[in-house]
A and B are shown apart, each in its own frame.
Chain A
Amino acid sequence: MNTFLAAALAGAAMAVSVGGAQAQTGGLLATIKSKGVLTCGVGPGLAGFGIPDQAGNWTGLDVDLCRALSAAIFNDPTKIKFIPLSSKDRFTALQSGEVDLLSRTTTWTMSRDTSLGLNFAGVNYYDGQGFMVRKKLGVDSAIKLAGASICTEQGTTTELNVADYFRSNKLKYEVVAFASSVETIAAYESGRCDAYTTDSSGLYAQRLKLAVPADHIVLPDIISKEPLGPVVRHGDDNWFDVVKWTHNAMLNAEELGVTKANLDEMLKSENPEIKRLLGTEGKFGEAIGLTNDWAVRIIKHVGNYGESFERNVGMASQLKIARGLNALWTKGGLQYAAPIR
């Protein structure tokens, strides 16, 4: 590969900050370890999933996955550089190596998984596209939106889904597409559109930004499947494994009842599954290039999936989203982690 241009650019501008010229030999995990920081692509600010507070501290369900990875690698959940990415920029950023992983409400689709050269490392939120409308319109179902104007963000699956939905139901509608969610929600609030459409989790989060959230309702219809999950590039299987199993470890921990609070007791547990998870038995951590207590670190710093969910989007948060599809399989949901063995 030709590095001359890069060198010229770097020398001329001096502010080139990302990357550095680490050797590519040990894979991405080795690079991250030697850099001492994990670069995580997150959303530009979606309450509950990834949003910075006034002091620039990021929180959210997607952010917690980054924190879990940082904890697993460095035993410190703060060694992360968050890069906020809009829907339009996210894949380029991941493909170009600007971020190590993308954890920002990204829908797992076949074309993204294959032709964009990405790998989805699991599903941390089962979502579906929905609509938000004003209460005073008296609409209770998406099928009654015939002839409505609908605001959406461009460059998303949302834009395609809404076209599919209205086409298959033979309904007329008018789409108004904006470049960012800020403009989209502003246009909806100003009355330019009758309905605002995005993933239903996003609807709940965006509703909080409206002046009077109670004036708006989220329609019960879900018009698409939107499995959201963390994404990595093709070509580094070890890093793919690390991300995948970090997510699985958080799920397994919830299933086995290991929480932040009872972690120390659980370390003494005789349950073989818990022993394997917490690294007191077997060398599962080392197999993916981490330490054997990797899951302990995750749970200590971030907690299990259930804790993260409740804290960020669940009943303990402003969003108050029910577990629904995201409950564990044992409780009627879809979250089902592969076993550690």
Chain B
Amino acid sequence: MTDATIENAPYAFVRKETLPQESPPLSVAGPLAWIRANLFSGPVNSLMTLVCVYIVVTSVPDLVRFYLIDAVWSGANRDACLADKVGRPVGACWAYIADRFQYFIYGSYPIPQRWRVNIVFAMFALGIVWLLWDRMPLKKVGFFFFFVLLPISAYLLLLGGPAAEGFLRTLLILTFALMAIYLVLSFVPGLARFWIGPAFLAVEEALPPWKRFYRVKRLILLSLVVLGVIAILADSAGLPRVDTGLWGGMVVTFLISAVGIVFSLPLGVMLALGRRSRLPIIQFLSVVFIEFVRGVPLITVLFMANTMLPLFVPQEYSPDRLLRPLVGVALFAAAYMAEVIRGGLQAIPKGQYEGAMSLGLGYWSMMRLIILPQALRIVIPGIVNTFIGLFKDSTLVTIVGIFDFLRTIEATLVDPTWATPTTRATGYAFAAVFYFLCCWGMSRYSIAVEQRLAAGQRR
């Protein structure tokens, strides 16, 4: 029925206009209904709700008062945070965090040298963004930056000293040499063509090394820039050696995590391939390594690295105290990474393998060009989750005496300068916020990737 028919209808009791829509009754829509459906749908549910509300009401205001309202935000020493000195109830002592903030970041790293750490932090952040943000271009260059240039630069900058400078010099010479070779190789054919004429084109086709070399150009250029900048810095400001005993705080926490990921990922790929290999010995050794490491706690691996690694090498090569847990953590993470990657390899349909083989690709070409790119892409969430685990586990190096972030907090808790009843609660809260932000951020990222991948799968 149309409006026209209504208007023309002769019956007086028929409405001529549509009534405005009534809002639905309160019992099925609106906040009250929502509350009823979601909070008080039954006696058990109502009880649950009341218990939950009770928990929230009793804990949240106290927490807010302690950490925000009653908190002390500035002060020079513990007098600022002692209730009887300031004459009011005192909550968290944030002044203590502010006072020791530099120590939490850098540990005992010499103050005039801290710019070096900052550069490494910046490079680390750049590398992370490059690799993890999907809009960044030149992913392959990014991989090279993160897995090759960053570790080298971090070593050069953080440790410094004559050995590092010598190493930097060698690397620079090597890069220059590569650059020169590249220049020669890319100009010679052009010159040759100029002299010989178009007949040369055939010759060019048959010389794959240039083509291959062409792709390396960007990597060389990037290395040249990064190493050059470090060399200029080393020349102007100098890079005196800073012993690893002085490193501490977030520097060490990030270092352990970064070393863990940089070494465990390639190692994990190798182990995962080994475990799926048809060659029995390779498979056996991979399985033994993976299952062994996954069967023992990280602490025992760290103890082993700390006490047994020095025994396994000749006395004069005794590894650095910081290097030992790094080796332990990298091997430990590699075993877990291997299992994650193996999951990805297993998820690749058989047709991909067969397709690659029917193209005549050998094992390594097949893995490098067809399988691994797909497998790694689908396990990115798994890799990020393993990394979150690694980041949290990095706190365990505390137990073998390395000054990571958590340890620096512990160390300042017994400092009489800031000994107050609330210092401990403040220190732990600060550590919790730091770890939570890092881990939660990473897990959000992993979920986002998962959703993006799922969207791609849905088509």
Contacts and interface: CB of A to CB of B under 8 A. Distances in A.
Interface in A95-132: 96-98
Interface in A240-263: none
Given A18-B320, A180-B401, A210-B419, A2 B314 contact: yes
A15 B316 contact: no
A86 B321 contact: no
A257 to B, nearest CB: 37
B244 to A, nearest CB: 7
Nearest to A44: B401
B245 A21 contact: no
Nearest to B419: A211
A179 B243 contact: no
A89 B318 contact: no
Given A3-B317, A10-B317, A182 B245 contact: no
Interface in A13-40: 13-22, 24
Interface string A273-297: 0000000000000000000000000
Interface string A152-186: 00000000000000000000000000011011011
A146 interface: no
B310 interface: yes
B401 A9 contact: no
Given A18-B319, A83-B245, A55 B110 contact: yes
A81 to B, nearest CB: 6
Contact of B314 (A6, A183, A185): A6
Interface stretch (B207-215, B364-372, B408-416): B408-416
B327 interface: yes
Contacts of A88: 401
Contacts of A211: 78, 416, 419-420
Nearest to A185: B414
Interface string A174-203: 000001101101100100000000000000
B374 interface: no
A137 interface: no
Given A9-B319, A83-B321, A182-B411, A15 B155 contact: yes
Contacts of A86: 401
B32 to A, nearest CB: 49
Nearest to B415: A209
Contacts of A180: 401
A97 B321 contact: no
Nearest to A10: B317
Interface in B74-124: 78, 108, 110-111
Given A9-B319, A19-B316, A96 B414 contact: no
Given A52-B108, A86-B401, A208-B416, A15 B320 contact: yes
B167 interface: yes
Contact of A89 (B108, B306, B311, B415): B306
Contact of B319 (A16, A24, A44, A189): A16
B314 A179 contact: no
A24 B306 CA distance: 25
B448 interface: no
Contacts of A44: 401
A206 B35 CA distance: 58
Nearest to B103: A54
Contacts of B419: 209-211
A183 B414 CA distance: 9
Interface residues of A, number: 48
A314 to B, nearest CB: 21
Interface in B318-355: 318-323, 326-327
Contact of B320 (A3, A17, A186, A208): A17
A249 to B, nearest CB: 28
B222 to A, nearest CB: 20
Contact of A92 (B310, B316, B320): B310
B201 to A, nearest CB: 44
B27 interface: no
A96 B322 CA distance: 15
Given A208-B416, A210-B416, A84 B245 contact: yes
Contacts of A183: 410
Interface in B105-160: 108, 110-111, 155, 159
Contacts of B320: 15-18
B159 A15 contact: yes
Query: Most chain-A CB neighbours within 10 Å: which of B243, B311, B319, B400?
Result: B319
A98 B321 contact: yes
B296 interface: no
Contacts of A16: 317, 319-320, 323
A6 B313 contact: yes
Contact of A96 (B163, B311, B420): B311
Nearest to B320: A17
A83 B403 CA distance: 13
Interface in B415-447: 415-416, 419-420
Contact of B110 (A1, A24, A56, A179): A56
Contact of A18 (B318, B399, B410): B318
B315 interface: yes
Given A24-B316, A83-B321, A182 B414 contact: yes
B310 A98 contact: yes
A209 B318 contact: no
Contacts of A54: 108
Nearest to A96: B310
Contacts of B326: 13, 15
Interface in A206-222: 208-211, 213
Contacts of A15: 155, 159, 244, 320, 322-323, 326
B46 interface: no
A60 B326 CA distance: 31
A186 B159 contact: no
A22 B246 CA distance: 25
B52 to A, nearest CB: 32
B45 interface: no
A309 interface: no
Interface in A31-86: 44, 52, 54-56, 81-86
B318 A98 contact: yes
A5 interface: yes
Interface in B43-91: 78
A285 to B, nearest CB: 27
B316 to A, nearest CB: 5
Given A9-B319, A17-B320, A83-B245, 17 more contacts: A2-B314, A10-B317, A13-B323, A13-B327, A14-B155, A15-B326, A21-B317, A44-B401, A52-B108, A83-B321, A84-B245, A85-B401, A93-B310, A97-B318, A98-B310, A182-B411, A209-B416
8 contacts: A15-B323, A15-B326, A24-B316, A55-B111, A83-B321, A209-B416, A209-B419, A211-B419
Closest 6 CB pairs of A and B: A211-B419, A96-B310, A6-B317, A97-B315, A98-B318, A6-B313
Interface of B: 78, 108, 110-111, 155, 159, 163, 167, 243-246, 306-307, 310-323, 326-327, 399-401, 410-411, 413-416, 419-420
